[in-house]
Structure formats: C-alpha cells, structure tokens
Amino acid sequence: MSLLFTRWRSTLSNVLRPTMNTFCDLQHREFASAKHKRIIKMAKGYRGRANRTFKAALQRVEKALQYAYRDRKQRKRDFRKLWIQRLNAGTRQHNMSYSKFISYMKNSNQMELNRKVLADLAASEPFSFKAVVDVVKLVGRSPA
C-alpha cells in the first residue's frame, strides 16, 4: 500500500509541478508602502542586506544622507584651502606672501576678484596674474 501511495504522490507532484512553477513565477510581491519602495530605491547598489531589506536599507540611507550633508560643507572648505594654496604659491613667485597680497587687496577696494578666480589666474594665466600682483603691490604701498 505504501508503494502505491508513493507512486501516486510522485505522479501527482510531477503533474502539479508545472502549474506550481508558473504560479510562483506569476506571484509578485509589492512593498509595504511607498516609503519602503523609496528607501529601497535609494539604497540601490549597496552591499549585503542593505539593498534588499527595509530596516538595513533605512539605516544605510540615513547614514549616507548624513555623510552627504557633512561633505557638502567639507567640499567648500577643501576648495577654499586649495585656492589659498595656489594663491600662496603664485604670490611667492612674485616675492610677496599670501597674507600681504590679500590684505593689500582688501585695503585697495578697487579689485573685486575672489580667491577662486585669482587661483585660476595663478594656475592658468601666469602673466595676467603677475599684472594683478603688480597692481596690488602699487596700490598697497601707496598711502590710502
């Protein structure tokens, strides 16, 4: 009797298997909410469970947003430091320190160039930057 039952069960499973597979293929799981969907979408590309499960993805996305907020501020500092380094190198080629150059520029009230523009001039247009340094030297030495 058990042999007959085993054969019947195996035959039944072979008959039902194609329908079960197609049923599983048709089954599609949705997210619990739009918030879950949004977080999982933001976590795309993360490693491990962080790109599949909501709880892990939420923690990683929150931390990523904290890093993004912090680094937007940090990028501004980094670029300002870079511009100051380039200006210092450029002004020292013309026998002047960065601090004197900036103070002369502030006192002159004629030149409205910021550090970004001046650093670009110092790096890409050395003759133009020399002209700017010469003008700042003249204006800085003359009594105001």
The pLDDT value recorded for residue 139 is: 84
- The two tokens of residue 60 are 């990683």
- The two tokens of residue 124 are 């890409």
* DSSP 8-state secondary structure symbol assigned to residue 109: -
pTM: 0.68
| Tens-digit pLDDT profile for residues 19-53 | 555 555 555 667 788 899 999 999 999 999 999 99
Place of tokens 């960065």: 98
The pLDDT value recorded for residue 122 is: 93
CB-CB contact of 53 with 65 (8 Å): no
Consecutive sets of 10 residues in the chain, 144 residues long: mean pLDDT of each?
56 55 59 89 94 94 97 97 96 94 85 90 93 89 63
Place of tokens 């929150």: 62
